[in-house]
């Protein structure tokens, strides 16, 4: 979901990162400058609490990167670190407004 409330529904492949899916479908606000290396924050997103829990634990590197993310929240994730699976079917990814300025 975009900061303005608009939505873009995309299909993803099991095992694919949310970032790869977003980039492949030109989702605005997910630029992924590092290509999924968990070294930038240009794929930052918010997940609703139920999806956040199902998305799995944060890797220590992801935690470190998120420390410096503008508009970080308790439900922040880097989409490069979230893998698509059946349990995440229907997940809504929220793009922060700060991503739109990059």
What range defines the domain where residue 39 resides? 18-101
Residue 1 domain-assigned (yes or no): no
- Which pLDDT value is given to residue 102? 67
| Residue 93 is assigned to a structural domain of this protein | yes
- Tell me how many domains the chain contains: 1
> Phi, psi (5° rounding) for residue 83?
-95, 135
pTM of the model: 0.93
The mean pLDDT value for 64-92 works out to: 95
Distance from C-alpha of 56 to C-alpha of 100, rounded to nearest angstrom: 26
**pLDDT higher than threshold 70 for residue 16:** yes
Is 49 within 8 Å of 71 (Cβ atoms)?
no
The answer to whether residue 7 scores a pLDDT higher than 80 is: yes
């Amino acid at each position: 979901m975009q900061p303005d409330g608009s939505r873009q529904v995309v299909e993803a492949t099991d095992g694919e990162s949310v970032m790869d899916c977003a980039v492949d479908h030109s989702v605005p606000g997910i630029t992924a400058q590092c290509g999924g290396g968990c070294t930038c924050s240009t794929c930052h997103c918010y997940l609703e609490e139920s999806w956040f829990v199902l998305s799995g634990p944060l890797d220590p590197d992801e935690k470190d990167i998120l420390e410096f993310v503008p508009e970080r929240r308790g439900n922040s994730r880097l989409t490069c670190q979230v893998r698509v699976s059946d349990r995440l079917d229907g997940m809504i990814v929220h793009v922060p407004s700060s991503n739109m300025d990059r």
